[in-house]
């Protein structure tokens, strides 16, 4: 079933992240769904603990979004305060954030370990995420394209997956 609204898509991606947590019974990497005019892409990234490494990953995600002229995106991950699965969804004129608290015990985790969906205020969204969306068309250089291939290509660090076809890479 296709979600009827962007808010319901954000909630669906939150629930998908919770199902992934149940499946792997461990932490998950941030899961990004990027909406483009040619279809949606999915990318899972590992955010390094150091600020510089995080900045590099986010800068390259932003480059990917600029290249694909992203219309919007969702980012589902875990939070540690409060302990929860969460999802943020951003379009230029629409912003949503929600979470479902996690009870880490008992294991193995099941759907019963997750609380009800709680909707957060727009002010709770990290401004760094707002900066990922492109602010207009951008010309891509050969260096940009090489960076995109290195990061999101078939053999890249975080291969992009076209959701409709399952095609791996850019």
For 62-116, write each residue's pLDDT tens digit: 999 999 999 999 999 998 889 999 999 999 999 999 999 999 888 898 999 999 9
Given a cut of 90, whether residue 138 has pLDDT beyond it is: no
Given a cut of 70, whether residue 169 has pLDDT beyond it is: yes
Average pLDDT (132-157) is 94
Q: What is the structure's pLDDT at 90? A: 96
Q: What separation in angstroms does the CA of 43 have from each of 33, 59, 86, 104, 139?
A: 7, 14, 16, 26, 22
pTM of the full structure: 0.92
Q: What is the structure's pLDDT at 149? A: 96
Q: What is the DSSP letter of 112?
A: G
Report the half-sphere exposure of 68 (CA within 13 A, side-chain side): 28
For 4-62, write each residue's pLDDT tens digit: 899 999 999 999 999 999 999 988 999 999 999 999 999 999 999 999 999 999 999 99
Q: What is the structure's pLDDT at 3? A: 72
Q: Of residues 170 and 119, which shows the higher confidence score? A: 119
Q: What is the structure's pLDDT at 106? A: 85
Tell me the pLDDT band of 2, cut-offs 50, 70 and 90.
low
Q: What is the structure's pLDDT at 107? A: 86
Q: What is the structure's pLDDT at 1? A: 59
> What are the residue ranges spanned by the domains of the chain?
6-162
Supply 104's token pair. 């880490």
Concatenating the DSSP letter of every residue in 10-52 gives HHHHHHHHHHHHHHHSS----EEEEEETTEEEEEE-PPPSSHH
């Amino acid at each position: 079933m296709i979600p009827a609204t962007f808010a319901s898509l954000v909630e669906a991606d939150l629930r998908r992240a919770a199902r992934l947590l149940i499946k792997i019974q461990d932490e998950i990497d941030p899961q990004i769904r990027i909406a483009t005019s040619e279809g949606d892409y999915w990318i899972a990234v590992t955010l390094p603990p150091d600020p510089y490494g995080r900045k590099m990953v986010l800068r390259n995600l932003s480059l990917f979004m600029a290249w694909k002229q992203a219309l919007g995106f969702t980012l589902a991950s875990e939070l540690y305060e409060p302990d929860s699965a969460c999802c943020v969804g951003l379009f230029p004129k629409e912003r949503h954030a929600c979470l479902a608290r996690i009870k880490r015990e008992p294991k193995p985790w099941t759907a019963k370990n997750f609380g009800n969906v709680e909707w957060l205020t727009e002010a709770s969204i990290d401004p760094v995420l707002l900066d990922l969306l492109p602010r207009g068309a951008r010309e891509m250089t050969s260096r940009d394209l090489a960076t995109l291939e290195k990061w999101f290509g078939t053999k890249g660090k975080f291969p992009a997956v076209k959701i409709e076809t399952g095609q791996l890479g850019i």
